[in-house]
A and B are shown apart, each in its own frame.
Chain A
Amino acid sequence: MNLLLLFQDAFWSAIAALGFSVLFNVPRRMLAGGMICAAVGHAVRTFLMQAGLDIVPATLVGALMIGFLGIGFGRYWRAPSLIFTLSASVTLVPGVFAYRAMLGILQLSASTDPAVGGPLLVEATTNAIKTALILGAIGVGIIAPRLLFLREKPVV
């Protein structure tokens, strides 16, 4: 495993998360938290995918890292953890898969030949399922600390 590549991956994910933090109006003094979450979460996912894991379980592990780091930063800054986890996990969101699925569906509407439409349908469906599974993995990963360890009697 190339350590330099992994470091670059972490660096660019942190920059990506910083942009979304600005978009989401994250308090200035907490910007670093989201960047660290993104760097660790995304680099872990990249590492696992290069080690041969599929993108869905790799995303789950990456999101778990973000979830637990978010709880830690939340304690440190005395803030809700979503401030750190939201912009960090946006870097894991499968945007490309999502609109490839949509593009496939749109192109499907223009093709009458089953030989052309068949592969398009397969591609669109695979991308849609992948998008849904990755999103589920992100959701589970982020709230895992609350599901596993910080269980409280619901107040409402």
Chain B
Amino acid sequence: MSATLPKKPPLDKLALRDVIDLSLWAGQLLLQHGAESARIEETVHRLGTGLGADWMDILVSPNAIAVTTVSGEEFRTKIRRVVSIGVNLRAIEQINSMTQRVIAGELDRVQVRREIEQIVRQPRQYTRWASVVMVGLSCAAFSQLFGGDWPVFFTTLVASMLAMFVRQELIRRHFNPLLVVIGTSFVATIFASLASRFQWGEQPQIALASSVLLLVPGVALINSAEDLITGHLVVGIIRGISGGLISLGIAIGILMGIRLMGISGL
């Protein structure tokens, strides 16, 4: 393989260490913020070779990432454990454009380090209250898509805003992720079932189904499908299972809620 590549000057040990550190860091950010496996492999490879390595080998696993970088006769391997910490597409976009600039030769290792540090440090663009309102609106929009009327719309809106607030609080207190899902879906169900209890609107059960949609593991499940199709079977299967577990958590929360409120079924 390396015979077909243009000859690059071999990197010294320190430079090689820098290259693997930076590309692994970028890969870690992509994995923990919800990128699919193919993108992670490609980005890390392009970043490392763009910074002067001859070749990069990347192993993406559901909760770790391993990279080997090769330059001349030298090689280095590094593994890092990665914990998923919620989707952040802005970070993925910034790493993508940074990689483009590295390929174009506009950034060197020092500048790449500065860029990544800036990406890690920046706060989220939307405040937690903006998230509460927008996520509530999103679930209420789903109730409209399912054919609900306005009383159901407003019940869903309040129920899912309340649920989003509870979710943020539970996450802040470092509860187990599945416990967060169960608690959040329980709270959403308790409030949404008031609609069924007091017959708000024509089909109050729509409020029950819509108000927990903020929890649906869409990214895990979509990434799982993509990874399976592109041949990243291990990561795909694990993502599918974690999506299934979250769905189970949602169902447990709903079940506890409707039993407590004495509502029958969805």
Fill in one digit per residue for B36-64: 1 if any A CB lies within 8 Å of its CB, else 0. 10010110011000000000111000000
Check A19–B254 contact: CB distance below 8 A: no
Measuring CB to CB, which residues of chain B are less than 8 angstroms from any residue of chain A?
A: 34-36, 39, 41-42, 45-46, 56-58, 87-93, 96-97, 100, 124-126, 130-131, 134-139, 141-142, 144-146, 209, 212-214, 216, 218-219, 221-222, 224-226, 228-230, 247-248, 250-252, 254-255, 266
* Complex interface: chain B residues within 8 A of A136 (CB): 225
Check B131–A23 contact: CB distance below 8 A: yes
Fill in one digit per residue for A43-60: 1 if any B CB lies within 8 Å of its CB, else 0. 000000000000000000
* Complex interface: chain B residues within 8 A of A1 (CB): none
Fill in one digit per residue for A20-63: 1 if any B CB lies within 8 Å of its CB, else 0. 11111111101000000000001000000000000000000000
* Complex interface: chain B residues within 8 A of A145 (CB): none
Residue of B nearest to A15 (CB): B141
* Complex interface: chain A residues within 8 A of B92 (CB): 80, 82-83
Check B88–A25 contact: CB distance below 8 A: yes
- Contact among B45, B131, B144, B255 for A12, CB-based, below 8 A: B144
Check B125–A28 contact: CB distance below 8 A: yes
A65 touches B (CB below 8 Å)? no
CA distance A18 to B93 in the complex (A): 17
CA distance A22 to B90 in the complex (A): 10
* Complex interface: chain A residues within 8 A of B87 (CB): 23-25, 86
* Complex interface: chain A residues within 8 A of B226 (CB): 139, 142-143
| 118-134 of chain A: CB within 8 A of chain B | none
A96 touches B (CB below 8 Å)? yes
* Complex interface: chain A residues within 8 A of B42 (CB): 154-156
In the assembled complex, how far is the CB of residue B132 from the closest CB belonging to chain A, in whole angstroms?
Answer: 10
Check B222–A135 contact: CB distance below 8 A: yes
* Complex interface: chain A residues within 8 A of B216 (CB): 90, 93, 95, 98
Check B58–A156 contact: CB distance below 8 A: yes
Fill in one digit per residue for A144-156: 1 if any B CB lies within 8 Å of its CB, else 0. 0001000000111
Check B254–A99 contact: CB distance below 8 A: yes
- Contact among B89, B138, B222 for A27, CB-based, below 8 A: B89
